[in-house]
Chain A
Amino acid sequence: MLISSVWRGIGRVYFSVGLLVGGVVAAVVLSVVGSVALQWWLPGVQVELFAIVVLASITVASPLLLRLPYAQNRRQVPEAILNSGPRFGAFQFGFEMGTASRTFMPTTMPHVLLLGALLVLPIHVAALSGLSFGAGRALVPILRSYGDYDVEWTEAYDRSARVLWFGSVMCGLASLVIIALP
Protein backbone atom coordinates (compact mmCIF):
# COMPACT_ATOMS: atom_id res chain seq x y z
CA MET A 1 0.00 0.00 0.00
CA LEU A 2 1.24 3.47 -0.77
CA ILE A 3 2.25 5.10 2.48
CA SER A 4 4.27 7.97 1.11
CA SER A 5 3.44 11.62 1.34
CA VAL A 6 1.97 11.66 -2.15
CA TRP A 7 -1.35 10.81 -0.57
CA ARG A 8 -1.37 13.69 1.83
CA GLY A 9 -2.92 17.05 1.04
CA ILE A 10 -2.06 18.69 -2.23
CA GLY A 11 0.38 15.89 -3.11
CA ARG A 12 -2.56 13.66 -3.96
CA VAL A 13 -3.66 16.01 -6.74
CA TYR A 14 -0.17 16.35 -8.19
CA PHE A 15 0.36 12.60 -8.03
CA SER A 16 -2.87 11.94 -9.93
CA VAL A 17 -2.03 14.59 -12.53
CA GLY A 18 1.40 12.97 -12.90
CA LEU A 19 -0.26 9.63 -13.59
CA LEU A 20 -2.43 11.18 -16.32
CA VAL A 21 0.44 13.07 -17.94
CA GLY A 22 2.73 10.03 -17.75
CA GLY A 23 0.16 7.85 -19.46
CA VAL A 24 -0.41 10.36 -22.26
CA VAL A 25 3.30 10.98 -22.84
CA ALA A 26 4.17 7.28 -22.96
CA ALA A 27 1.31 6.45 -25.34
CA VAL A 28 2.01 9.40 -27.66
CA VAL A 29 5.74 8.64 -27.81
CA LEU A 30 5.01 5.02 -28.68
CA SER A 31 2.48 6.04 -31.31
CA VAL A 32 4.88 8.53 -32.90
CA VAL A 33 7.68 5.97 -32.97
CA GLY A 34 5.30 3.37 -34.37
CA SER A 35 3.91 5.71 -37.04
CA VAL A 36 7.42 6.60 -38.18
CA ALA A 37 8.96 3.15 -38.04
CA LEU A 38 6.18 0.58 -38.31
CA GLN A 39 2.63 1.69 -39.06
CA TRP A 40 3.22 3.15 -42.52
CA TRP A 41 4.17 -0.18 -44.07
CA LEU A 42 1.65 -2.36 -42.23
CA PRO A 43 -1.71 -2.72 -44.01
CA GLY A 44 -4.45 -1.45 -41.71
CA VAL A 45 -7.04 -4.20 -41.75
CA GLN A 46 -4.55 -7.00 -41.32
CA VAL A 47 -2.88 -5.07 -38.53
CA GLU A 48 -6.16 -4.84 -36.62
CA LEU A 49 -6.77 -8.54 -36.98
CA PHE A 50 -3.17 -9.21 -36.04
CA ALA A 51 -3.59 -6.95 -33.04
CA ILE A 52 -6.65 -8.90 -31.95
CA VAL A 53 -4.71 -12.15 -32.13
CA VAL A 54 -1.84 -10.57 -30.19
CA LEU A 55 -4.29 -9.22 -27.62
CA ALA A 56 -5.84 -12.62 -27.19
CA SER A 57 -2.49 -14.40 -27.00
CA ILE A 58 -1.00 -12.05 -24.45
CA THR A 59 -4.09 -11.89 -22.31
CA VAL A 60 -4.37 -15.67 -22.32
CA ALA A 61 -0.86 -15.75 -20.90
CA SER A 62 -2.16 -13.93 -17.86
CA PRO A 63 -1.47 -14.88 -14.26
CA LEU A 64 -4.85 -16.60 -14.11
CA LEU A 65 -3.87 -19.17 -16.72
CA LEU A 66 -0.10 -19.30 -17.09
CA ARG A 67 2.74 -18.02 -15.01
CA LEU A 68 5.14 -16.53 -17.54
CA PRO A 69 7.85 -13.95 -16.96
CA TYR A 70 6.64 -10.57 -18.25
CA ALA A 71 8.68 -7.83 -19.82
CA GLN A 72 8.89 -5.34 -17.01
CA ASN A 73 11.27 -3.04 -15.22
CA ARG A 74 10.97 -4.55 -11.76
CA ARG A 75 11.90 -1.40 -9.92
CA GLN A 76 9.97 0.82 -7.64
CA VAL A 77 10.03 4.56 -7.87
CA PRO A 78 12.75 5.58 -5.38
CA GLU A 79 11.64 7.25 -2.18
CA ALA A 80 14.25 9.97 -2.70
CA ILE A 81 12.05 11.38 -5.44
CA LEU A 82 9.79 12.75 -2.72
CA ASN A 83 12.56 15.03 -1.57
CA SER A 84 11.64 17.26 -4.49
CA GLY A 85 8.69 18.47 -2.47
CA PRO A 86 5.00 17.69 -2.09
CA ARG A 87 4.17 19.13 -5.47
CA PHE A 88 6.95 18.37 -7.94
CA GLY A 89 8.02 15.22 -6.09
CA ALA A 90 4.49 13.86 -6.09
CA PHE A 91 4.05 14.82 -9.75
CA GLN A 92 7.30 13.09 -10.74
CA PHE A 93 6.33 10.03 -8.71
CA GLY A 94 3.00 9.87 -10.52
CA PHE A 95 4.58 10.57 -13.90
CA GLU A 96 7.03 7.68 -13.59
CA MET A 97 4.25 5.35 -12.49
CA GLY A 98 1.98 6.68 -15.25
CA THR A 99 4.48 5.82 -17.94
CA ALA A 100 4.72 2.28 -16.47
CA SER A 101 8.44 2.48 -17.22
CA ARG A 102 9.46 1.80 -13.66
CA THR A 103 6.98 -0.50 -12.03
CA PHE A 104 5.96 -4.09 -11.38
CA MET A 105 3.56 -5.70 -13.84
CA PRO A 106 1.09 -8.14 -12.29
CA THR A 107 -0.87 -8.26 -15.57
CA THR A 108 -0.24 -8.27 -19.31
CA MET A 109 -2.86 -5.67 -20.17
CA PRO A 110 -0.37 -2.76 -20.33
CA HIS A 111 1.74 -4.75 -22.80
CA VAL A 112 -1.29 -4.97 -25.05
CA LEU A 113 -1.75 -1.21 -24.83
CA LEU A 114 1.92 -0.75 -25.67
CA LEU A 115 1.65 -2.93 -28.77
CA GLY A 116 -1.54 -1.17 -29.79
CA ALA A 117 0.07 2.27 -29.57
CA LEU A 118 3.09 1.03 -31.44
CA LEU A 119 1.31 -0.86 -34.23
CA VAL A 120 -2.19 0.44 -34.85
CA LEU A 121 -3.17 3.56 -32.94
CA PRO A 122 -3.12 7.05 -34.44
CA ILE A 123 -1.69 9.68 -32.12
CA HIS A 124 -4.99 11.13 -30.90
CA VAL A 125 -6.38 7.69 -30.01
CA ALA A 126 -3.09 6.78 -28.33
CA ALA A 127 -3.27 10.00 -26.29
CA LEU A 128 -6.83 9.23 -25.20
CA SER A 129 -5.99 5.65 -24.25
CA GLY A 130 -2.90 6.88 -22.35
CA LEU A 131 -5.04 9.38 -20.48
CA SER A 132 -7.53 6.70 -19.54
CA PHE A 133 -4.61 4.44 -18.54
CA GLY A 134 -3.44 7.06 -16.06
CA ALA A 135 -6.98 7.55 -14.80
CA GLY A 136 -7.48 3.82 -14.33
CA ARG A 137 -4.20 3.57 -12.52
CA ALA A 138 -5.15 6.41 -10.18
CA LEU A 139 -8.56 4.97 -9.37
CA VAL A 140 -7.65 2.46 -6.68
CA PRO A 141 -5.12 4.69 -4.88
CA ILE A 142 -7.70 7.49 -4.83
CA LEU A 143 -10.30 5.15 -3.40
CA ARG A 144 -7.69 3.90 -0.93
CA SER A 145 -7.11 7.38 0.37
CA TYR A 146 -10.67 7.29 1.66
CA GLY A 147 -10.34 3.88 3.30
CA ASP A 148 -8.16 0.77 3.44
CA TYR A 149 -9.78 -2.23 1.80
CA ASP A 150 -6.66 -4.35 1.19
CA VAL A 151 -7.75 -7.26 3.36
CA GLU A 152 -11.33 -7.29 2.09
CA TRP A 153 -10.23 -7.15 -1.56
CA THR A 154 -7.67 -9.91 -1.16
CA GLU A 155 -10.23 -12.12 0.56
CA ALA A 156 -12.77 -11.39 -2.18
CA TYR A 157 -10.18 -12.30 -4.81
CA ASP A 158 -9.37 -15.56 -3.08
CA ARG A 159 -13.06 -16.46 -2.87
CA SER A 160 -13.59 -15.66 -6.55
CA ALA A 161 -10.39 -17.15 -8.00
CA ARG A 162 -12.07 -20.22 -9.51
CA VAL A 163 -14.90 -18.19 -11.01
CA LEU A 164 -12.39 -15.77 -12.52
CA TRP A 165 -10.35 -18.59 -13.96
CA PHE A 166 -13.45 -20.27 -15.45
CA GLY A 167 -14.72 -16.96 -16.84
CA SER A 168 -11.35 -16.24 -18.45
CA VAL A 169 -11.26 -19.62 -20.14
CA MET A 170 -14.83 -19.27 -21.42
CA CYS A 171 -14.24 -15.76 -22.76
CA GLY A 172 -11.04 -16.96 -24.45
CA LEU A 173 -12.86 -19.84 -26.12
CA ALA A 174 -15.69 -17.51 -27.17
CA SER A 175 -13.09 -15.19 -28.74
CA LEU A 176 -11.65 -18.04 -30.77
CA VAL A 177 -15.11 -19.19 -31.90
CA ILE A 178 -16.07 -15.67 -33.01
CA ILE A 179 -12.77 -15.27 -34.89
CA ALA A 180 -13.36 -18.59 -36.63
CA LEU A 181 -16.89 -17.61 -37.75
CA PRO A 182 -17.17 -16.38 -41.34
Chain B
Amino acid sequence: MTEVRVPLHRHPLGYGSLIGFGLLLVPILLSHYGPGDAWWTAWWVIYGAAAGFSLSGSV
Protein backbone atom coordinates (compact mmCIF):
# COMPACT_ATOMS: atom_id res chain seq x y z
CA MET B 1 0.00 0.00 0.00
CA THR B 2 1.36 3.41 -0.94
CA GLU B 3 1.91 5.77 1.95
CA VAL B 4 2.23 9.51 2.04
CA ARG B 5 5.91 10.35 2.40
CA VAL B 6 6.26 13.21 4.84
CA PRO B 7 9.51 14.11 6.61
CA LEU B 8 9.24 14.59 10.32
CA HIS B 9 9.29 18.24 11.14
CA ARG B 10 11.11 19.99 13.94
CA HIS B 11 9.59 23.19 15.18
CA PRO B 12 11.30 25.84 17.31
CA LEU B 13 9.54 24.84 20.50
CA GLY B 14 11.71 21.76 20.75
CA TYR B 15 9.21 18.92 20.47
CA GLY B 16 7.07 20.43 23.14
CA SER B 17 9.50 19.33 25.81
CA LEU B 18 10.08 22.77 27.20
CA ILE B 19 6.35 23.44 27.19
CA GLY B 20 5.87 20.15 28.96
CA PHE B 21 8.30 21.06 31.67
CA GLY B 22 6.79 24.49 32.09
CA LEU B 23 3.33 22.99 32.37
CA LEU B 24 4.58 20.45 34.87
CA LEU B 25 5.34 23.24 37.27
CA VAL B 26 1.71 24.35 37.28
CA PRO B 27 0.10 21.18 38.74
CA ILE B 28 2.98 20.72 41.12
CA LEU B 29 2.45 24.23 42.45
CA LEU B 30 -1.31 23.80 42.49
CA SER B 31 -1.05 20.54 44.39
CA HIS B 32 0.64 22.55 47.14
CA TYR B 33 -1.18 25.86 46.98
CA GLY B 34 -3.95 25.56 44.42
CA PRO B 35 -7.68 26.10 44.70
CA GLY B 36 -8.75 22.72 43.38
CA ASP B 37 -10.38 20.82 40.57
CA ALA B 38 -11.12 23.68 38.20
CA TRP B 39 -7.42 24.43 37.84
CA TRP B 40 -6.64 20.78 37.28
CA THR B 41 -9.22 20.68 34.49
CA ALA B 42 -7.81 23.82 32.93
CA TRP B 43 -4.31 22.41 33.17
CA TRP B 44 -5.24 19.17 31.44
CA VAL B 45 -6.92 21.12 28.63
CA ILE B 46 -3.82 23.27 28.17
CA TYR B 47 -1.60 20.23 28.39
CA GLY B 48 -3.73 18.45 25.78
CA ALA B 49 -3.30 21.34 23.37
CA ALA B 50 0.44 21.39 24.00
CA ALA B 51 0.68 17.63 23.44
CA GLY B 52 -1.19 17.94 20.18
CA PHE B 53 0.96 20.85 19.14
CA SER B 54 4.09 18.87 19.91
CA LEU B 55 2.92 16.26 17.37
CA SER B 56 1.71 18.75 14.82
CA GLY B 57 4.84 18.45 12.73
CA SER B 58 4.71 14.65 12.49
CA VAL B 59 2.46 12.34 10.50
Point out residues on A near B: beta carbons under 8 Å: 1-4, 19, 23, 27, 48-49, 52, 55-56, 59, 62-65, 75-80, 97, 100, 103-110, 112-113, 116, 121, 125, 128-141, 150, 153-154, 156-157, 160-161, 164, 167-168, 171-172, 174-175, 178-179, 181
Given known pairs A135-B52, A136-B50, A136-B53, the reply for A52 and B44 (CB within 8 Å) is: no
Give the docked Cα–Cα distance between A164 and B19 (Å): 10
Interface presence of B7 (CB below 8 A)? yes
Point out residues on B near A: beta carbons under 8 Å: 1-22, 24-25, 27-29, 31-32, 40-41, 44-59
Closest-by-CB residue of B relative to A49 is B31
A59 touches B46 (CB 8 A): no
Chain A contact surface mostly: helix
Closest-by-CB residue of A relative to B19 is A109
Chain B residues lying within 8 Å of A55, measured Cβ to Cβ, are: 20, 24, 27
Chain B residues lying within 8 Å of A112, measured Cβ to Cβ, are: 20, 47, 51
Kindly provide the distance from the CB of A117 to the nearest chain B CB, expressed in whole angstroms.
9
Apart from A52-B27, A112-B47, A136-B55, list 14 A-B contacts with CB within 8 A.
Answer: A4-B4, A48-B40, A59-B21, A64-B18, A76-B4, A77-B4, A78-B3, A79-B4, A103-B59, A125-B41, A133-B49, A161-B14, A171-B22, A178-B32
A128 touches B1 (CB 8 A): no
Give the docked Cα–Cα distance between A27 and B49 (Å): 13
From A106, A134, A164, residue with most partner B Cβ within 10 Å: A106
A107 touches B4 (CB 8 A): no
